[in-house]
Amino acid sequence: MEAHTTHSISGASHARNLRLEQFCHHGFVMGKASEAGFGKEMYKILSGAALSILLNRSLIIGQTRHIGKILFRDYISDSNVSFTMREIKHLWRLNKCVKK
């Protein structure tokens, strides 16, 4: 039996490669940060990450509509194991999930 980590099963890199019928039925956890201060934003993001692990779902990191420098970029970085809202919306449309 092959051992899997949570990110190998529910990470964004795995979900990106799902067939369209699998992608549309894949579960996601959404975490969104805004401009409420570093402590509150880290709490929201880490809570979302913990929830995605507990529920075995892919984590989506929501983007604010703020144009320019992303808040706390020095402390938080995007990676291949998480989604951004822009990417998930694009994949949702690409896989035609709205019609399913």
- Which pLDDT tens digit goes with each residue over 46-98? 887 788 788 777 676 665 555 455 555 565 555 555 666 777 778 878 878 77
pLDDT of residue 18: 81
pLDDT of residue 6: 44
pLDDT of residue 67: 47
E strands in the chain: 28-32, 58-62, 83-84
- Which pLDDT tens digit goes with each residue over 28-48? 666 665 666 677 777 777 887
The DSSP-derived string for 20-47 is HHHHHT--EEEEE--SS-HHHHHHHHHH
pLDDT of residue 7: 44
**What number of other Cβ atoms are within 10 A of residue 82's Cβ?**
21
**What number of other Cβ atoms are within 10 A of residue 57's Cβ?**
19
